[in-house]
Amino acid sequence: MVDGFSNFTEVLNFIARLRKRGFAEADIRGILGHNFLRVFEQVWA
């Protein structure tokens, strides 16, 4: 497990921080991997 990423809410916080720093949505998808986000949304939503 990676320190700071023990559950889905921490990933959401990470995304929020990227947005706050001015990253575009396309860049965020690229950083996280679009497929990774799709799977998380299906599993954790």
The pTM of this model reads 0.62
- Give backbone dihedrals phi and psi of 23, rounded to 5 degrees, phi first: -70, 140
Count how many domains the chain has: 1
Q: Tens-digit pLDDT profile for the chain (45 aa)? A: 567 677 778 888 889 999 999 999 998 888 888 777 777 778 876
Q: State how far the Cα of 21 lies from the Cα of 35, in Å rounded to an integer.
A: 23
Residue 3 lies in a domain: no
Residue 1 lies in a domain: no
* Predicted pLDDT of residue 5: 72
In angstroms, the CA 29 to CA 19 distance is 11
Q: Is there a domain that residue 32 lies in?
A: yes
pLDDT at 24: 95
Please give the pLDDT value at position 41: 79
Residue 29 is assigned to a structural domain of this protein: yes
Indicate whether 19 belongs to any domain: yes
Q: Would you say residue 31 lies in a domain? A: yes
Per the CB < 8 A criterion, the answer to whether 40 and 11 are in contact is yes
Torsion of CA 10, 13, 14, 17, to 10 degrees: -160
Structural domain of 36: 8-44
